[in-house]
Amino acid sequence: MKINQHYLELEKSYLFTMISKKVAQFQQQHPEVDIIRLGIGDVTLPLCPAVVEALENASAEMGVKETFHGYGPEQGYDFLKEKIAGYYAEKSVSLAPDEIFISDGAKSDLGNILDLFDADNTVLIPDPVYPVYVDTNIMAGRKVVFANADASNGFLPLPDENTDADIIYICSPNNPTGAVYDHAGLKAWVDYAKKRDAVILFDAAYESFVADPALPRSIYEIEGAKEVAIEFCSFSKTAGFTGTRCGYTIVPEALVCGGVGLNGLWLRRQTTKFNGVPYIIQKGAAAVFSEEGRRQTLANIDYYRENARILADTLDRLGIRYTGGKNSPYIWMECPNGMKSWEFFDYLLENAGVVGTPGAGFGTNGEGYFRLTAFNDHENTEKAAKRIEKLLSK
Ligand code: MLT
């Protein structure tokens, strides 16, 4: 018996596990400190009433023989896929229900999708980026090359014709930098992928935070993207489903690699390895698209946007440079006084009781940066902003 040696090449802990351990340790040593968490991007507002009502009704259905549901379709119920197709139609993207696969969240499918690709492929990943892309490819022993995202390109790298890649990750609005590609930027990536017969894995988990109507919320807003891109999205940040678990992955019929349609492969993979998202949860997710659900979830997003504004205004007053916070729930700030990311993490925790995420945890180019999230409540965000301002204006 041999273990997968590639696991030994990983950092010892997943970034957010490491942070929560550090914070728990600090709290134990300093029980008097009222810690405010602006670290992991976990929501704080409860599920909206329209979703709760749908969950309750679906639970009641499950207790009645006539409306009980056993195994559902692995790729999701049509009632939810049709709602998602309707949502994309508003972005002028037409999707067939069979191109939509309901998942238990973007993170799982971003890892699972790699089942479809040979270990020999070269993977291009922006640096800094959500650590799941890198870690899942290390686990599979794939060669990873990086696209530098830094202040010089606004943290939005464009393709370098000299770099060869088979699988390309793009996250927009970006986690962690909050930077968002415009149509021209995404088109450059689509063109590059076409030229190389590469596949783009597009993470749209934060699309609902895009406020600027000129910015794309789906890669399929770019002509021809269906031939090269898989899109991952989630109800986690849009509708507070971090603990409820539901998302969706779009694998267009037009996406063909080496003569093989990826939609069919993904269907084969899902029907074999996944038994679907619970009926109750899918009913809750469908309610996100009802008139009430839309209004209520948008109000929650606006609530987080206000938090982002509070944090951004604080950094503006301090003269600290940052990206994000406008079309994204993340604010990516430069650590003050040339501090390193983990140094600033400790400094902020110890002197202000505020937790953020060290930029270095997202890649080499993240060193010297720090990520704050807008997902806490107003009261805590205001309190944290005041503490940060007091500490850093010293
Ligand atoms: C983050 O903080 O980067 C996200 O919450 C992680 C995730 O969505 O898995």
Q: pLDDT tens across 344-355, in order?
A: 999 999 999 999
Of 271, 290, 309, at which residue does a domain stop?
290
Separation of CA 107 and ligand 1 centre (Å): 8
Give yes or no: residues 265 and 361 share one domain. Answer: no
DSSP element (H, E) containing 183: helix 183-196
- State how far the Cα of 193 lies from the Cα of 174, in Å rounded to an integer: 19
Label residue 160 by pLDDT band (50, 70, 90).
Answer: very high
Check pocket membership of 341 for ligand 1, CB cut-off 6 A.
Answer: no
Give yes or no: residues 131 and 21 share one domain. Answer: no
Check pocket membership of 107 for ligand 1, CB cut-off 6 A.
Answer: yes
Answer yes or no: are the C-beta atoms of 39 and 342 closer than 8 Å.
no
19: tokens are 């942070």
Check pocket membership of 41 for ligand 1, CB cut-off 6 A.
Answer: yes
Which residue is listed with tokens 């009261």?
379
The total of structural domains in the chain comes to 2
Answer yes or no: are the C-beta atoms of 288 and 239 closer than 8 Å.
yes
Give yes or no: residues 149 and 41 share one domain. Answer: no
pLDDT at 394: 80
Ligand 1 atom with the shortest distance to the CA of 39: 2
Ligand 1 atom with the shortest distance to the CA of 236: 8
Give yes or no: residues 125 and 165 share one domain. Answer: yes
Kindly give, in sequence order, each residue whose CB lies less than 8 Å from that of residue 171, ignoring residues fewer than 6 positions away.
126, 129, 130, 133, 202, 203, 205, 206
Return the CATH number at 81.
Answer: 3.40.640.10
Of 290, 307, 341, at which residue does a domain stop?
290
Mutate to test the pocket of ligand 1, among 14, 15, 16 (most ligand atoms within 8 A of CB): 16
pLDDT at 84: 98
Instruction: Tell me which residue has its CA closest to atom 8 in ligand 1.
Output: 41
Answer yes or no: are the C-beta atoms of 186 and 172 closer than 8 Å.
yes
Say what the pTM is.
0.96
Check pocket membership of 174 for ligand 1, CB cut-off 6 A.
Answer: no
Mutate to test the pocket of ligand 1, among 23, 40, 376 (most ligand atoms within 8 A of CB): 40
Lowest mean pLDDT among 9-18, 24-33, 70-79, 294-303: 9-18
Return the CATH number at 366.
Answer: 3.90.1150.10
Instruction: Tell me which residue has its CA closest to atom 4 in ligand 1.
Output: 41
Check pocket membership of 40 for ligand 1, CB cut-off 6 A.
Answer: yes
Task: Quick: pLDDT tens for 15-56.
Answer: 899 999 999 999 999 999 999 999 999 999 999 999 999 999
Give the chain's mean pLDDT.
97
Give yes or no: residues 140 and 221 share one domain. Answer: yes
Give yes or no: residues 205 and 127 share one domain. Answer: yes
- Examine the pLDDT at 14 and tell me if it is beyond 90: no
Ligand 1 atom with the shortest distance to the CA of 42: 5
Give yes or no: residues 42 and 60 share one domain. Answer: no
Separation of CA 237 and ligand 1 centre (Å): 9
Ligand 1 atom with the shortest distance to the CA of 175: 3
Check pocket membership of 175 for ligand 1, CB cut-off 6 A.
Answer: yes
Give yes or no: residues 219 and 280 share one domain. Answer: yes
Give yes or no: residues 142 and 240 share one domain. Answer: yes
Separation of CA 244 and ligand 1 centre (Å): 15
289: tokens are 């698209």
Mutate to test the pocket of ligand 1, among 14, 20, 42, 177 (most ligand atoms within 8 A of CB): 42
- Examine the pLDDT at 95 and tell me if it is beyond 90: yes
Ligand 1 atom with the shortest distance to the CA of 40: 2
Check pocket membership of 39 for ligand 1, CB cut-off 6 A.
Answer: no
Give yes or no: residues 123 and 170 share one domain. Answer: yes
Kindly give, in sequence order, each residue whose CB lies less than 8 Å from that of residue 162, ignoring residues fewer than 6 positions away.
none
Label residue 12 by pLDDT band (50, 70, 90).
Answer: confident
Q: Helix count (H) and strand count (E) of the chain?
A: 12, 15
- State how far the Cα of 374 lies from the Cα of 325, in Å rounded to an integer: 8
Q: Which domain holds residue 316?
A: 5-47+292-392
Q: Which residues pair with 103 in a beta bridge?
A: 247
- Examine the pLDDT at 13 and tell me if it is beyond 90: no
pLDDT at 81: 98
Give yes or no: residues 136 and 203 share one domain. Answer: yes
Separation of CA 15 and ligand 1 centre (Å): 10
Separation of CA 376 and ligand 1 centre (Å): 14
Instruction: Tell me which residue has its CA closest to atom 5 in ligand 1.
Output: 41
DSSP element (H, E) containing 332: strand 330-334
Of 290, 319, 352, at which residue does a domain stop?
290
Give yes or no: residues 281 and 340 share one domain. Answer: no
Answer yes or no: are the C-beta atoms of 169 and 188 closer than 8 Å.
no
Ligand 1 atom with the shortest distance to the CA of 132: 9
pLDDT at 355: 97
119: tokens are 């270990």
Separation of CA 239 and ligand 1 centre (Å): 14
- Examine the pLDDT at 139 and tell me if it is beyond 90: yes
Mutate to test the pocket of ligand 1, among 130, 209, 362 (most ligand atoms within 8 A of CB): 130
